[in-house]
Chains A and B, each alone.
Chain A
Amino acid sequence: MSKPRVAVYKMSSCAGCQLEIINLEPILLDLLGAVDLSYFVMARRENEPGPYDIGLVEGAITCGEEIERLKKARQECHLLVALGSCACYGGLPSIKNWQPQRVVENRVYDNLAAIHSTTAYGIDYYVPVDAYLKGCPVSREELLDFIKSTLLGVRPYLRPHSVCVECKLHENVCLFVTEKAICLGPVTTAGCGALCPSRGKPCDGCRGPANDANAVSLARTMAAYGLHSQDIVRYFRKFAGMTSEFSKGAEAV
């Protein structure tokens, strides 16, 4: 039986999620025993053409050329996966969406002649997506779990609930309650192992809204903690402002 073929695509992104695949190094060879990384420009000199069994797409879609590449990726992959928060929701690139395109472009580029950027969207704005691996960057463990489950044909266990659950399972001192810090954990999807709160740093919401995120209620508490409404907006728009849940949080106060 031939091994499942995996393709990794890069759109508008920092390449940090792809780097996480390479960071699987200690077990990368085992992984390569299970799948062929057939198309992975960042890691391979020669890349093989499709079709592929699994396509991992990193990055937000921010220009016409990417829309074309994304549609081609959808066609040549049996399963298409959003790899990381940019591909899931627009991620960090989406912070530009609340200013006029030209203003944002002007700030970055000297010569605007060749720049035709569009609103930054997650990939499901353009094509159907089979799975979402959230995070900035994506969690290696979740990525591996996803691949293993897919190979076995079972549903992967991707935690849908809040970061607080994992934070509690690790018995962290709650930064919100005890340290009076603003933490987006209560409305953010777990799966990171409560990475930031476990190191004393409040959750930044990088994994986007949990399955029953009540961002409006959290925004009210943030205001009650003395946060200015502009700051609350920034919190909710940092990674997943394009989601309906976090945009409600941004607009709540």
Chain B
Amino acid sequence: MSVAYARQEEWSIPQLYHLPAAKLDPFLNKLKENYTLIGPVVKGKEFVFAPLSDPGELSLHYQTTLLPPKKVLHLPFEVLFSFHEDQQIIETAQEQQQQIIFGIHPCDVHAIAILDKAYTAEYPDPYYIAKRRNTLLVALNCSEPGENCFCQSLGTGPELKDGYDLLLTDLGNGYLLEVGSPRGRELVQVMDLAPAPRVAMVEKQKVLDNARRKFQKKLNTQDLPGILEENFRQPIWEELMHECLACGSCTMVCPTCFCYNVVDKIDLNLKSGKRQREWDSCMLLEYAQVALGHNFRKDRDARVKQRIYHKLVYYEPQFGTLGCVGCGRCIHTCVKKIDITDVISRLRGE
């Protein structure tokens, strides 16, 4: 896959720009001429990523969103192709329009890097790849972590180091804008922006240091696989079995979950139909059921463990990184307030 990012030191031309607050909307309007813009917007008391019809809808002061921006690369529901009695298969045409995810936070950028590995390496997923190729990331460093965020513990935030096309940091009077890829450089060229003064990098670190002090949750990653493997049988799992509602919300909102189910929708003529996929979740009873009805994870504690072990143990050997980026969505969304950071600190006896 040809989505290349480089560390900014590798660039010789100026990579730092100043984007005054007053120029944000004109910048967005310029980008909108050639790209579909997707960014955080208000939905009730929450935020969601949505296509921006007007730059004014963008809410960069969000802390988190209901679903992660993953949803524009790996759609919650997606028709893969339609099929017909005469064996004809018609693939769904992939959107050719280039899109920008604007204001994506560092944790979610890291999550997309994990999805890139999952969907492009061993079993390339043409549906994901087609969208990913046309997607640029204009990231936003976090200055106000939310109450459930713990990216700091995982090195996935609040500061983003790579994986972006452009990176914004809110310096109060405007944004520091850093270029992270050739495609990102094309984006800044639509505006006549002044290079940022050197001191902007110092200001950026101040903003981030301030953010770093605000984290309320943490997850100690030291020897996580060891800790979890030692504690596969522990009273806490039984307790969680009684608590957890097996509702599936925690995985539905997770930016690194990649599981899906495939369902055929038959037309009423019974001669044609569509093959569709939708997000699936290992928290659901039917997930590990196989032909003839056997279920490998019938008990709820086995499913609670599957989610947590997959995120904190099983991703590492496959993808070289933990499967949790500390976005905190699973904590926020859980009606029972089951908290992955709390589970780990209890296992550590803290």
Chain A residues with a Cβ under 8 A of chain B: 27, 30-31, 33-34, 144-145, 148-149, 151-152, 154, 157, 160-162, 164-165, 168-174, 176-179, 185-187, 210-214, 216-218, 221
- With a cutoff of 8 Å between Cβ atoms, the chain A residues found around residue B268 in the complex are 27, 30-31, 33-34, 144, 148
- With a cutoff of 8 Å between Cβ atoms, the chain A residues found around residue B336 in the complex are 217, 221
Chain B residues with a Cβ under 8 A of chain A: 43-46, 48, 66-67, 71, 76-77, 242-249, 252-253, 263-270, 278-279, 281, 284-286, 300, 332-336
- With a cutoff of 8 Å between Cβ atoms, the chain A residues found around residue B247 in the complex are 161-162, 164-165, 185-187
In the complex, the answer to whether B285 meets A211 with C-beta atoms within 8 Å is yes
Docked pose: A185 CA to B246 CA in angstroms: 11
Smallest CB separation, B126 vs chain A (Å)? 22
In the complex, the answer to whether B71 meets A171 with C-beta atoms within 8 Å is yes
In the complex, the answer to whether A165 meets B252 with C-beta atoms within 8 Å is yes
In the complex, the answer to whether A160 meets B333 with C-beta atoms within 8 Å is no
In the complex, the answer to whether A214 meets B332 with C-beta atoms within 8 Å is no
Q: Which residue from chain B places its CB closest to the CB of A176 in the assembled complex?
A: B335
19 contacts between A and B (CB under 8 A): A27-B268, A30-B269, A31-B268, A33-B268, A144-B268, A145-B265, A145-B266, A157-B264, A169-B278, A171-B48, A174-B249, A174-B333, A178-B46, A179-B44, A186-B245, A212-B284, A213-B245, A213-B246, A217-B245
- With a cutoff of 8 Å between Cβ atoms, the chain A residues found around residue B332 in the complex are 177
In the complex, the answer to whether B286 meets A164 with C-beta atoms within 8 Å is no
Docked pose: A145 CA to B266 CA in angstroms: 8
In the complex, the answer to whether B285 meets A168 with C-beta atoms within 8 Å is no
In the complex, the answer to whether B252 meets A177 with C-beta atoms within 8 Å is no
In the complex, the answer to whether B246 meets A214 with C-beta atoms within 8 Å is yes
In the complex, the answer to whether B284 meets A161 with C-beta atoms within 8 Å is yes
**Among A27, A151, A152, A173, which residue has its beta carbon within 8 angstroms of that of B46?**
A173
Smallest CB separation, B303 vs chain A (Å)? 8
Docked pose: A30 CA to B243 CA in angstroms: 47
In the complex, the answer to whether A148 meets B286 with C-beta atoms within 8 Å is no
Docked pose: A161 CA to B286 CA in angstroms: 8
Smallest CB separation, A219 vs chain B (Å)? 11
Docked pose: A65 CA to B76 CA in angstroms: 48
Smallest CB separation, B57 vs chain A (Å)? 16
In the complex, the answer to whether B245 meets A160 with C-beta atoms within 8 Å is no
Docked pose: A171 CA to B76 CA in angstroms: 9
- With a cutoff of 8 Å between Cβ atoms, the chain B residues found around residue A176 in the complex are 335
- With a cutoff of 8 Å between Cβ atoms, the chain B residues found around residue A164 in the complex are 245, 247-249, 252
In the complex, the answer to whether A160 meets B286 with C-beta atoms within 8 Å is yes
**Among B246, B248, B333, which residue has its beta carbon within 8 angstroms of that of A177?**
B333
**Among B243, B285, B335, which residue has its beta carbon within 8 angstroms of that of A212?**
B285
Q: A144-B268, A168-B253 are in contact. Are A173 and B248 (CB under 8 A)?
A: no
Docked pose: A81 CA to B285 CA in angstroms: 23
Top 3 nearest A-B pairs by Cβ distance? Answer: A168-B252, A186-B247, A164-B247
In the complex, the answer to whether B44 meets A178 with C-beta atoms within 8 Å is yes
- With a cutoff of 8 Å between Cβ atoms, the chain B residues found around residue A34 in the complex are 268-270
